Amino acid sequence: MKKQNRWHLLTPTVIFVIALIAMPVWAAQKSVSEDDMGIRKTSLYDETNTQGVKSTPGTTPAGKSKKYDRSFENSPPLIPHSIEGLETITEGQNSCMNCHDPKVAQNVKAVPIPNTHLKDSGDKIDGNSYHCVQCHVVQSDVKPAIENKFTNSFRNQKSRNSSNLSRTQKEGVD
């Protein structure tokens, strides 16, 4: 009985001492120098040999492109077509609406903007939504610096390539 008690005290003490010795070694191995912290391969303190990744946005014209699947349910869809010449967007001037206005979208085979982008009255784009390219972005063929391991899932197949937020945003609220 006595012997057992001694071991009972000794074991945690031994583990504590080993941990105390091993901790600085472990910490030293984990440390990263400031120069290695960026994603780029060159120093973060010197731009001399640093070059941005060259990327050319897709050139397929609207009407000829193929829609991308959503990144996740109700994510802002990526723009599959070129937007060259359409980049200037103000509250009063928005070339995207030449095709994405619900009044004309069907005729030009474009997707109408959803109700979530409209003022409560339903006839005008709301102040948060007029600057389309703040959320919808054109795509370039560039190799990502870090592989994205995110996997998405959808509640139904339809939401893979179309939004349902205007119908579902009040789910569970009323």
Q: Using the rule CB under 6 A, is 64 a contact of ligand HEC?
A: yes
Q: Using the rule CB under 6 A, is 139 a contact of ligand HEC?
A: no
- Rounded distance between C-alpha atoms, residue 112 and residue 99, angstroms: 8
Interacting residue with ligand HEC among 43, 82, 95, 139 (CB under 6 A): 95
Sketch the per residue contact string, 12 through 51, with ligand HEC: x for CB under 6 A, - otherwise. ----------------------------------------
- Rounded distance between C-alpha atoms, residue 102 and residue 123, angstroms: 10
- Rounded distance between C-alpha atoms, residue 89 and residue 98, angstroms: 12
Residues 6+ apart with CB under 8 A from 18: none
Number of residues that bind ligand HEC (CB under 6 A): 42
Interacting residue with ligand HEC among 35, 40, 55, 63 (CB under 6 A): 63
Q: How many residues does the chain have?
A: 174
Residues 6+ apart with CB under 8 A from 162: 111
Sketch the per residue contact string, 111 through 130, with ligand HEC: x for CB under 6 A, - otherwise. x-xx-xx-------x--xxx
